[in-house]
Amino acid sequence: MRDVAVIGVGMQKWGELWEKSTRDIFVESALLAMDDAGVDRLDAMYVGSMSPGIFASQEHLESLMADYLGQKHIPATRVESACASGGLAFRLAWLAVSSGISDVVLAGGVEKMTDVSGGQATHALATAADMKWEGMSGVTFPGLYAMMAVAHMAKYGTTRRQLASVAVKNHDNGLLNPRAQFHLKISIDDVINSVKVADPLNILDCSPITDGAAAVILCPADHVKKFKKPGVKVIGSGHATDTIALHDRADLAALKGVGEAAARAYKMAGKKPEQIDFAEVHDCFTIAEVIVSEALGFFPAGKGGPGAEAGETARGGRIPINTSGGLKSKGHPVGATGIAQIVELTEQLRGEAGERQLKKARVGLAQNMGGSGGTALVHILEVM
Amino acid sequence: MAVGIVGYGAHLPRRRIKVEEIAKVWGADAPSYKKGLELLQKSVPALDEDTITLSVEAARNALARAEIDPKEIGAIYVGSESHPYAVKPSGATVAEAIGAVPDCHCADFEFACKAGSEGMFVAYGLVKAGLIKYGMGIGADTSQGAPGDALEYSAAAGAAAFIMGADERKIIATVDETFSFMTDTPDFWRREHQFYPSHGGRFTGEPAYFRTVTGAVKGILEKSGMKPTDFKYAVFHQPNGKFPKRAAKMLGFTFEQIDIGRVVPWLGNTYSGASPIGLTAILDVANPGDRILMCSYGSGAGSDAFIYTVRDRVREVRDRAPRTRWQLDENVMYVEYGEYAKLRRKIRMAGE
Amino acid sequence: MPPARSWRAYPQTYRLEAARCTKCGKAFYPPRLVCPECHNRTFETFAMKRTGKVVSHTVIRTPASAFSALQPFAVGIVEMDDGPRLTVQIADVKFEELKIGLPVRLEFRRIFSEGESGVIQYGHKAVPIRQ
């Protein structure tokens, strides 16, 4: 197994991209990544996308994208793992390079969610749950996370305001990210008074519906000198599943799948949670960031809420989380999110994060999650 | 060989709407409707309740009181004028839900408000003939009243299920006599594909309801050699609070005899469930030895009359399922007209 | 939903049939082919009692289009007295009454139907126990 580095990143602005189709947004971001790396030809590509069949009536995305990227006859794979499709695409690309089978591999993600109605989008996202045994109750994704919030609040005393503080922080961070869907400063009261979605969550606790794509280029770490810009090394990769249905988990206030994936990544990297300088985590809902921050070992169980409220996860805090703005303000085109997290890690580790740049950014962690936690991917990257 | 009711149960939706609420919207005089119909309110099914769901719960209550293996039920009949399907019997879903399948005869019945008593009559007949061990007859409806029409005040929802059997140890009340009276009388009808029924106004009274009910009751009294004073309780079809009172008076029954079974003022007209639900309310309080007369009425028109005698077992089993009076009084949620119109699908969300 | 898909689940959706692992005793709804706890492959089927309690809950205010007519509605995770947990709608309840530990009973209800001409899917919803 060879060491692997990320050598190029690309991502255009996310939002409601009315004039652009699924293939437009993917190819644009992929070309940005290839230009960043200075490559013209790929050995392989992995495309993460959750539901192009529902959103765009299109499957077989890998062939379509390889074609429209002008990469004739390369092996291409479409990867699906609900909202972790991007993170899993990254892991598979890493395995391909690590194994020695390919040298220059693109890992990208795309989702175009705004052509269909809100109700249809909610349905598409709901297919990440157990459609027969959860979906038929009419529960939505906000509903599942709301039930986690109710359990977490009952078990640990996490408050509504603590959850809201996560949204406020991520919006503050998003103001500094030119690619973010939302550049909007919000307050805790704004969150609590926003439209109700699934009690106790309001619309400002929830990541939005977004069109967007992101792409990264991976190469063997030994080859980094051949490229024009610095590479960052992938030192840890962890992947785990959990029960598909939330109701089959013993503890509704925890995300064991995330904990397992993190343990595997930390072990491979030879790192402990305290040694992580910053992280991009899957804040599909404010409560998700709180529980994930505990599962990753940044806070003891139950302390994620007070920790967020006290500013420990802000840009100037002990463990900055979601300097990109997170899913909350950057947007959540589901298949692309996992890749965008790698983009942020790479830019921070290279010192290219502009106004978002952290002073201490040597080791970063990306956590991507599918459904209500049924799949978890954790990657750890380090400066070379 | 004695044949009779071995299990009974009612299931009523929780929601209610008051007469005043409906009158307010149509600019009608609520007090005169309440007085004229002797009606306070009616039940309203939720969007997820229909004739099948109400029948399943009523059937489960009947099974709780019968304490039999559902696989021994040899026939299930659901009578209604609001079957969810025009083709696919409600009884099949009930049978599947209670585990009576596959060795079971099934058919849906229709005869306006007497479809429930028909199911009871046929189930009883098959048991009496020795063809099946137990048979279930259910009367259930979630009927519609046209907006602003007089029937809107009373068209309600509910279900009652009866299991008939010949098992001596299990009989709660014997069926002593039956009598059916039927003619072609077009007092109330609904053509295929119509959402709301139509009716002949005052024609539904004397030439229809009263002629038929009195015909059936006189017939059963003559056939059995009994008179009104031989009965502790009587329950007649109850489209409103007034009709059964008048029928009782015409036939020589007292108000005390029909009081317990006359649930319509608080429930509304549950159509195929009407007299069957009334019968469950009576069985909830009757004593062993009490004799009960039941007479249904279905527009079109016909009546099925039954004579029952209550046995000791009623005391052992009646609290194994919720009592009808408790469901009427304790377990209620009131709605306003807008919510009622949405629940009854009189108004629908755009794009639905 | 295609008629076959809802039909094959009737033992679970209509009769609440669950399965107990013959080796470790854990009960599953729906039944499984292999026990995730002990990897045993034999089970005994049984119909669950219809009572349980709420272990978490929410009110869905922005449902998927299939359920839009019902909004807003309560949903909960119910732990059945026989062990398994289910995700179900909680019907006939005032939202202020929702709480962890609320005792409920499963009642037969209409779950979904595709427009005016599709097959109607039936199943269960939880209703607070009052008596």
Q: What residues are paired with B347 via a beta bridge?
A: none
Query: What CA–CA distance (Å, rounded) separates B267 from B323?
Result: 14
Tokens of C14: 């209509």
Q: Does B350 lie at the interface with C, CB-CB under 8 angstroms?
A: no
Task: Verify whether the Cβ–Cβ distance C110 to B49 is below 8 Å.
Answer: yes
Q: Are B314 and B173 in contact (CB under 8 A)?
A: yes
Contact B97 C122 (CB under 8 A): yes
The answer to whether B266 and B328 have CB atoms below 8 angstroms apart is yes
Give mean pLDDT, residues B79-104. Answer: 97
Q: Please judge whether B352 and C68 are an interchain contact, meaning their C-beta atoms are less than 8 angstroms apart.
A: yes
For C64, nearest residue in chain A (alpha carbons):
A119
Chains A and C form CB pairs within 8 A to the count of 97
- B328 CA: distance to closest CA in chain C (Å): 13
Residue B218 in contact with partner chain C when CB distance is under 8 A: no
* Residue B350 confidence (pLDDT): 83
Percent of chain B with pLDDT over 70: 100
Mean pLDDT of chain C, nearest integer: 95
Residues of C with CB below 8 A from A154's CB?
100
Query: Considering only CB atoms, which residues of chain A are within 8 Å of chain C?
Result: 117-120, 122-123, 126, 132-134, 136-140, 142-143, 146-148, 150-151, 154, 195-201, 245-248, 252
Residue B123, pLDDT > 90, answer: yes
Same structural domain for residues A263 and A341?
Answer: yes
Does the structure show a pLDDT above 90 at C130?
no
Domain boundaries, position C107: 3-128
pLDDT at residue B339 is higher than 70: yes
ipTM for the predicted complex comes to: 0.94
Three-state DSSP at C102 gives coil
Contact C66 A118 (CB under 8 A): no
Across the interface, do B84 and C120 touch by the CB < 8 Å criterion? yes
Kindly state whether residues A318 and A194 are assigned to the same domain: yes
For residue B352, name the pLDDT band (cuts at 50, 70, 90): low
Does residue B263 register a pLDDT over 90?
yes
Query: In which band, very low, low, confident or very high, does the pLDDT at A46 lie, cut at 50, 70 and 90?
Result: very high
Cα dihedral sign, A74-A78-A84-A86: positive
pLDDT band, very low/low/confident/very high, at C66 (cuts 50, 70, 90): confident
Predicted confidence (pLDDT) at residue C88 exceeds the cutoff of 70: yes
Residue A150's CATH number: 3.40.47.10
The two structure tokens encoding residue A136: 């038929």
Regarding whether A325 and A228 lie in a shared domain, the answer is: no
- Give the DSSP letter of residue B96: H
Distance from CA of B100 to the nearest CA of C (A): 11
Tell me the pLDDT tens digit for each residue of A224-238: 999 989 999 999 999
B4-171+326-343 domain in CATH 3.40.50.1100? no
Q: How confident is the model at residue B11 (pLDDT cuts 50, 70, 90)?
A: very high
* Domain identity same for A44 and A131: no
The answer to whether the CB atoms of C88 and A137 lie below 8 A apart is yes
Instruction: Identify the closest residue of chain C to A117 by CA–CA distance.
Output: C65
Secondary structure letter of residue C119 according to DSSP: P
Contact C15/B99, CB-based, under 8 Å?
yes
The two tokens of residue C24 are 């470790």
Judged by average pLDDT, the poorest of B168-177, B244-253, B325-334, C32-41 is B325-334
Looking at residue C16, its pLDDT comes to 98
Residue C30 with chain A: CB contacts under 8 Å: 132-133
| Window B:15-44, CB contacts with C under 8 Å | 15
Give residue limits of the domains in chain B.
Answer: 4-171+326-343, 177-314
Number of structural domains chain C divides into:
1
What percent of chain B has a predicted confidence (pLDDT) above 90? 94
CB contact under 8 A, C59 and A198: yes
Cβ-based contacts of C126 with chain B (< 8 Å): none
What's the confidence (pLDDT) of residue B330? 86
| pLDDT in the model for residue C65 | 82
Q: Is residue A152 part of a domain?
A: yes
Domain boundary among A172, A197, A232: A232
Q: How far is C59 from chain B (nearest CA, A)?
A: 17
Amino acid identity for residue B102 in this structure: P
Task: Identify the band that residue C115 occupies on the pLDDT scale cut at 50, 70 and 90.
Answer: confident
DSSP B272: G
- Contacts with C61 from chain A: Cβ below 8 Å: 195-199
Range of the domain at A223: 4-117+210-232
Per residue in A285-341, pLDDT tens?
999 999 999 999 999 999 999 999 999 999 999 999 999 999 999 999 999 999 999
- Can you point out the beta strands (E) in C61-128? 73-80, 85-90, 103-113, 120-128
Burial state string for C49-87 with b = 16 or more CB within 10 A and e = fewer than 16:
ebebbbbbbbbbbbbbbbbbbbeebbbbbbbbebebbbb
pLDDT band at A123 (very low <50, low <70, confident <90, very high): confident
Active site residues of B: 81, 113, 237
Which domain-ending residue is among A232, A266, A298? A232
Whether residues A104 and A216 share a domain: the answer is yes
- Chains in contact with chain B (at least 3 beta-carbon pairs closer than 8 A): C
What's the token pair of residue B238? 């109850």
Distance between CA atoms of residues B246 and A228, nearest Å: 99
Whether A122 is in a domain gets the answer no
CA distance A145 to A249: 13
pLDDT bin (cut points 50, 70, 90) of residue A213 is: very high
Instruction: Give the residue-averaged pLDDT of A181-186.
Output: 97
CATH number of B177-314: 3.40.47.10
Rounded to an integer, the average pLDDT of C93-120 is 94
Q: pLDDT at residue B126 above 80?
A: yes
Determine the Cα–Cα distance for residues A111 and A101; give it in Å rounded to an integer: 28
Tell me the torsion sign for CA atoms A285, A290, A291, A297: positive
Q: What is the CATH number of the domain that holds C102?
A: 2.40.50.840
Contact A204, A194 (CB under 8 A): yes
The answer to whether B84 and B53 have CB atoms below 8 angstroms apart is no
Instruction: List pLDDT tens digits, range A369-379.
Output: 999 999 999 99
Question: pLDDT tens digits for B129-168?
Answer: 999 999 999 999 998 889 999 899 999 999 999 999 999 9
Total count of domains within chain A: 2
Exposed/middle/buried for A250, CB within 10 Å: 0-12, 13-18, 19+? exposed
Can you give the three-state secondary structure of chain A, one letter per residue?
Answer: CCCEEEEEEEECCCECCCCCCHHHHHHHHHHHHHHHHCCCCCCEEEEECCCHHHHHCCCCHHHHHHHHCCCCCCCEEEECECECHHHHHHHHHHHHHHCCCCCCEEEEEEEECCCCCHHHHHHHHHCCCCCCCCHHHCCCHHHHHHHHHHHHHHHHCCCHHHHHHHHHHHHHHHCCCCCCCCCCCCCHHHHHHCCEEECCEEHHHECCCCEEEEEEEEEEHHHHHHCCCCCEEEEEEEEEECCCCHHHCCCCCCCHHHHHHHHHHHHHHCCCHHHCCEEECCCCEHHHHHHHHHHCCCCCCCCHHHHHHCCCCCCCCCCCECCCCHHHHHCCCHHHHHHHHHHHHHHHHHCCCHHHCCCCCCEEEEEEEECCCCEEEEEEEEEC
Subunits with 3+ C-beta pairs closer than 8 A to A? C
Between C50 and C118, the higher pLDDT residue: C50
Chain C contact set for B15 (CB, 8 A): 92
Is residue A12 domain-shared with residue A98, that is, in the same domain? yes
Q: What is the residue-averaged pLDDT of chain B?
A: 96
**Domain boundary, last residue among A232, A265, A281:** A232
Of the candidates A358, A128, A355, the one whose C-alpha atom is nearest the C-alpha of residue A245 is A128
Structure confidence at residue C58 (pLDDT): 98
> How many other C-beta atoms can be found within 10 angstroms of the C-beta atom of residue C38?
13
**What pLDDT sits at residue B17?**
97
In three-state secondary structure terms, B24 is: helix
